[in-house]
Structures are given as C-alpha cells and as structure tokens.
Structure 1
Amino acid sequence: FKKFNMKRPKFFLSGDGGYNKEIEEALRKSVKENHFDAVIAEYSMAGQYLEANQDIFPPDTLTVISVHECYTKAFELRAAKGEDISNAQIKELHDYEFTMYNAVDRILSLTREDSEILINYEPGLRKKVRIVPHGVDTEFYYPPVDKSLDENSKRMLYLGNFEHYPNVDAARNFIDHCWNHILQEVPDAKFYAIGFHPPHELLDLRSDNIIVMEGGDNENVRQLYWKSDVFVAPIELGTGFRGKILESMACGLPVVATPLATFGIDPSHGNDMFVADDYDTFARYVIRLLKDAELRKTIADNGLKLVKKFDHIYASEKLAQVFSEGKQDRL
C-alpha cells in the first residue's frame, strides 16, 4: 500500500482513503498512560489502528477486533450486483483486511455464518475467531401493552443507517420488487423506510404510501416498532448481524426477511418469522401478515420466545469468556 502512502487501501470502507492521525495519537497516549486488560476495535475500520500500532501494547493486553462484516465479502457481493468494483480492488482490500485480522489476538464475529466466511478466506484465523452475537435489551424493547389484536395500521417498517449502502439497497429492493404487488392486494398499505441520512435515491421515491424519513433516538425507534404491523428485511448486500431484527421481534413485530438478513438468528421459517429468497414469495408473506391478525400474533409471539435467547446479558457473558480465555493465553 506504499503507492497510496497510507496504511489501508484507498477505498477501505468509505472510500476517502484517510487514516486519522488524531485517532492514532489518542490511542497511543491512552495506552501509554493507562493499563488495559483488553483493547477492542469496534468495527474493522477501527482495527486498522491496532494493526498499525502493535508496538504500543504490553504483553498482557489482549487486542481484539470486532468484525461486524467481512469487507472483502461485502465488496464481492456489491460487484456481483453490478457495482463498478474491480478484482484488483477486491484483492487489495482482502490483503489489507486479513493482514489486519492476523495482527491481533482475537477476532469477534457476530454470527456463525460470518465466522465461517472469515475462516474460508483465511483458515489460520480459526484459532482466533470467537462468536459473540449482539444482544438486545429486552427490558427496553418489549411489545406495546395497549395494542389490541383488532388494530391494523397496515404499516411495514424498514429501519437502518442509510450511510451504510446495504440499507439503501434493501429499501430499494422492497420498493422495486415487492411494493406494487402488495399495493394491489392492500391498497391502503404504507411502507416506512426510516434511518439516518436517507439519500435522494430513496427520498425521490416518496409518495402517499411510501414514507422515507430521518431516524431518531432509541425511544423514537421503539415507537416506530410499536406503530407498525410488519418488519421487512429485504437485505441482499453486506454480512453481519442485523440487530434491528431482534429489536423488532422484541417489540412484538412479525418479520419477513431474506436468508442473508437472518445470519446468526437461525429462525424457524413459518414459526418465528417468514424467510424468502425471492421477492414474489417475500411479498406474499407480507400480504398474508397484513391481512391476518391471528397470523401476525402467532409469528410475533413465537419471535418473542426466540429473541429472549439473545438478551444482552448472554452476549456480555460470552464476551467475558473471551477476555478470560485470552488473558490466560497471554500469561
């Protein structure tokens, strides 16, 4: 990467090519002035600072990168869908990404599927990768107490940070491939695509029935879940764990999702949620749920049972095990 005079490929994550020296200096200062049992880089883009500053960590400090998605895999998926990404770019990204992972003591993967993706690219990572799924705060996210079975807002919800392109792509997938079919069967249905910084390609699709708007704080998000009838996750790009699916299930929403969206959740199709790998089927499941209150309740109730297994207390226990094991290895 010397040709770019930087420590990462020019398109690493955001494409700006930057490496923030202020972040690096703050990290070095903090490690010099404090002792840490572990230093975790949350998201791979933060992992570059661990890889570039390996010399500052004492032998008893565990270095960890929490990998929310494998960028190499994500770029391959985007290229396969027609985006202008060359094989040379993907190779350069792969080489840097896995150099970074090899430089730390542990890799946290959010799902079993994602851990397998990493190990398939780099078998030597098997000894480092540990699966620690995201948890959901079931004390905050819970079903509304005053929502009756007779209520039917006919609102479908998709929630995501639209600065992350797979979320834009997911909303477009639903509008482009499912919406007309649903509207023919349920003319008063409404689709809400909510998230930070929605781009013009979504804003331009707004209508009386398609609402695209900025997201809000956790309380605002919880209210959105409560006011909706179905959560849709038509995700085709990216990898990783979809915490918003767990939040929606915890709030009593039935879910229709693509297989990719369910990584790490392992739902029972037709019981905990509906899973569809083509959009005609996806739309039919949404229509069934919009028209059948009893079915919505059944799927939602089963989803609530599943989501209890992902309470954040269990995720924190798994993370503590990783720290304990890693510290023993470094002694």
Structure 2
Amino acid sequence: MAGVLDSVNQRTQLVGQNRLELLLFKLGGIQRYGINVFKVREVLQCPPLTVLPKLNGAIRGVAYVRGQAISIIDLNLATGGRAIDDIENRFIIVTEYNRSVQGFLVGSVERIININWEDILPPPTGSSRYSYLTAVTEVDNRLVEVLDVEKVLDEIAPVNTEVTTQITIKNIKNKRVLVADDSSVARKQIQRTLTALGLECDLAKNGKEALDLLNEVAKTQPVFEKYALMISDVEMPEMDGYTLTSAIKSNTDMKDLYIILHTSLSGIFNQAMVEKVGANDFIAKFNPDELAIAVQKVINVDAE
C-alpha cells in the first residue's frame, strides 16, 4: 500500500502545475510521437497475434496480455500510413482509454519526458495528416506530434452517443454549458448529449481558450449566470484541465462555476487529482447516460 500511495503522490505533484509526462515513440519513419504516460499501462515487445475475421482493417489481431485479450491497433495504418512490418520485432503500448484497454502497435519506443503544457501547441490546419493530431511540441529541436487517439478509436469502433435514460431538465431556459476539449470527436460527442437534453453549449479547444472566454464573460456578469456548469477534458495543449480548474476556483468572479472533469484518463490517481484542484465532479469518458445524469443533477439543483 505504501508503494501505491507514493506513486499517487508523485503523479499528483504534476497536477495544477500544467505539466505532463509523454512517452515518445515512432511508427514507421523518423517522426516522433507522444502519448500521455497516465494512459499507458505497459510497453511490451509485440506478442504473437491471433488474427480474427471481420475485424477493422487497422486491427492487426488480438493478443493475450496478462490473461486479458486485447485488440492490437496498427497506429500507423489507423492514421493513413502503411502497415507496420516485421511486427514480431516491434512494440505494443498497452493503454486504457474511455474505459477500454487496447494495444497500439508502434515501430519503436524511446523514452519518457516531462514537459510543460504551455510548450504543447494546437496542431497546424489544412492537411489531412494533421487531422489525427491534437497537439505538437518540440523536443531536442525536433517536432513531436501528439495523436488524437480518441479520433482513432472512434473510427475503429464508434462510441454510442445516444442518451437512453429518461432525463428531465428543470427551468432549461438560458442554461448554457461550456465545453473544453482538444479532441474534435470528443467535443461532438458531448455536444450531441447536451443537445439531446435541450441544452446549448459553447465549445473551447483547450483550457486557455476556455479561460479567456470566461474572463470576457466575467467583465459584464457573474460567470455562473451565463453558464450552468463547465465540462472539461484534462489533457489539452497550452493549458490542461487541472490548471484551468485551479485558475477558475482561485478567481472570486468564477469560483462558483460547477466543473465536471470529463476525461479518458482513468486509474486510481483521478480522485486525488480532482480533490487537489477543487473540481466538483469527475466522469470517465464516454458514457452519454452518465454525463446526462451528472448534468441534470447540477442544473436541476440550481433551478430549485
């Protein structure tokens, strides 16, 4: 238990400091990519794969890792590149996203770096290649690209965004929700859920954009009068969700804004992180019913 608590403490030191750890890897060429260490369970040399019929073309097969069958996704193939060859000498990054475990087949794995979110920027626009990126940064004077894994997974196995639970929102007039998420797929998923509840929302692509918007609102009215709540991702370029939450809760004009952290990050560290930055709730992506119920609870209490 002491070891687990030490690990929690070490990881939560990054919370609110706008920092993260990236695992650097390559696919089929010289380009470097990064993935948040929080989402990585382990890195293994690619085990034998069992090929099953009717799988998505980007899934190279199924591997048995510590007694669990997981799909192995060729990350180069899934993002429009060529299939990774010589797979028995390649690696898989076992990750947990959106309540599921999967392995990403990559060419090679390099090292873990600690970096400031301010040094991670939104990707360029105008190229289909960049549509799979959520951010870019520079390490050792070379570009590192952070892939939009949620987009990759949604293309392979689309997430159901339909709200099936009967939800009633009281006094819905003038109730808006601010949504901050760097993934275009995630923003659309959340927007569809809110629309199904009859709610309108404003969308921000990262924490800095959301905070700038709130600062503008605060110039003319209390933030909570415009927004019933904010739903924020954790991983975002320029300013992450933890730093955004800390900034809001330390601002007298914004501190009453209800904040739900909504992220594909999962594991034992989340509750400690939520408590440290002062968020009101945490929901793992993506279950539309759970999100709808959480939103209903906030708005209906506010209406009473």
TM-score w.r.t. structure 2 length?
A: 0.36
Higher-helix-fraction structure: 1
Higher-strand-fraction structure: 2
Larger radius of gyration: 1
